[in-house]
């Protein structure tokens, strides 16, 4: 009986030891819990606005006016993606099968596969945003150039007020996006190169646009300068017409005012007179 009790005590000791080992093994993965516990959309929303997740101290410090926005740089995108790439490699090195106390086997393959998939999703959020940014920026500029080229190529003659207004609208549009567009090509090229390092290939059309659009944009700027010089006399003529119309309106308004003062039917004395029997 004593031998049986000793065996039971030894068995329970081994079970408790292996349970403790398994708990320690499980706890070793706790620092990955944020990957499947945090809201990716909310994290990324704050990253795009502030470049990082806001702390409680930041929110409290700017409670009245709100935290000032500080959009992330390309370097910050790189750092975020690199951090997930590093975690992916780290998790990928996890042994699929672990044995404790020579008899307890833990199969980590399902957990490992799920965690690797989650890490890839985090990384893809940042990569996909950069890809979408490049494609949208180039397609938007391409469409703008086509529209501006068509609009600025129209002939406008003296007296064509609607045509002149349309031309002026295109000239203003080119002017408004002048500095932004001039500065966009180099950052886009850097973004494309960064995506290449992560084996993220963009459509062939993107590389074609990135090569051709700078020259097309320069041509539109030259066209805008030429058109501006061409319509300058027409614009001056229309300004003269508008000034004359304004002056004529002032004269007419003055005449109406004087006639109204003389003939106005709402004077107090006239109302009293009209009410007498």
Give the pLDDT score at 268. Answer: 55
Give the pLDDT score at 64. Answer: 81
Give the pLDDT score at 63. Answer: 79
Give the pLDDT score at 235. Answer: 80
Residue from 254, 219, 199 nearest 146 by CA: 219
How far apart are alpha carbons 193 and 125 in whole angstroms?
A: 18
Q: Where are the beta strands (DSSP E) in the chain?
A: 97-100, 104-107
For the ranges 7-11, 122-126, 222-226, 229-233, which has the lowest average pLDDT?
A: 7-11
pTM for the structure as a whole = 0.80
Instruction: List pLDDT tens digits, range 83-134.
Output: 999 999 999 999 999 998 888 899 999 999 999 999 999 999 999 999 999 9
How far apart are alpha carbons 83 and 36 in whole angstroms?
A: 16
Sign of CA dihedral 6, 7, 9, 13: positive
Sign of CA dihedral 80, 210, 183, 168: negative
Q: 43 is written with which tokens?
A: 């994290």
Give the burial class of 183: count Cβ atoms within 10 A of its Cβ; 0-12 exposed, 13-18 middle, 19 or more buried: exposed
Highest mean pLDDT among 61-65, 113-117, 156-160: 113-117
Count other C-beta atoms under 10 Å from residue 169's C-beta: 12
Give the pLDDT score at 2. Answer: 67
Residue from 166, 145, 140 nearest 155 by CA: 166
């Amino acid at each position: 009986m004593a031998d049986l009790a000793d065996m039971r005590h030894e068995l329970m000791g081994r079970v408790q030891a292996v349970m403790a080992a398994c708990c320690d093994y499980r706890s070793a993965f706790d620092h990955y819990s944020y990957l499947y516990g945090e809201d990716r959309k909310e994290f990324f929303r704050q990253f795009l606005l502030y470049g990082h997740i806001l702390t409680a101290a930041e929110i409290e410090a700017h409670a009245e006016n709100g935290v000032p926005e500080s959009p992330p740089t390309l370097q910050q995108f790189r750092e975020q993606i690199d951090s997930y790439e590093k975690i992916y490699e780290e998790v990928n090195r996890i042994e699929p099968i672990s044995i404790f106390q020579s008899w307890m086997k833990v199969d980590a393959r399902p957990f490992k596969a799920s965690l690797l998939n989650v890490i890839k999703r985090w990384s893809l959020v940042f990569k996909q945003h950069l890809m979408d940014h490049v494609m949208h920026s180039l397609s938007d500029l391409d469409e703008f150039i086509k529209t501006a080229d068509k609009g600025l190529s129209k002939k406008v003659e003296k007296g064509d007020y609607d045509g002149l207004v349309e031309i002026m609208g295109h000239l203003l549009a080119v002017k408004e996006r002048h500095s932004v567009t001039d500065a966009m090509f180099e950052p886009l090229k850097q973004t494309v190169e960064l995506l290449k390092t992560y084996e993220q290939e963009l459509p062939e059309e993107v590389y074609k646009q990135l090569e051709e659009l700078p020259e097309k944009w320069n041509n539109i700027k030259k066209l805008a300068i030429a058109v501006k010089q061409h319509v300058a006399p027409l614009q001056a003529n229309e300004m003269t017409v508008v000034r004359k119309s304004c002056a004529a309106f002032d004269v007419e308004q003055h005449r109406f005012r004087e006639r109204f003062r003389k003939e106005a039917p709402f004077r107090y004395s006239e109302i009293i007179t009209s009410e007498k029997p």
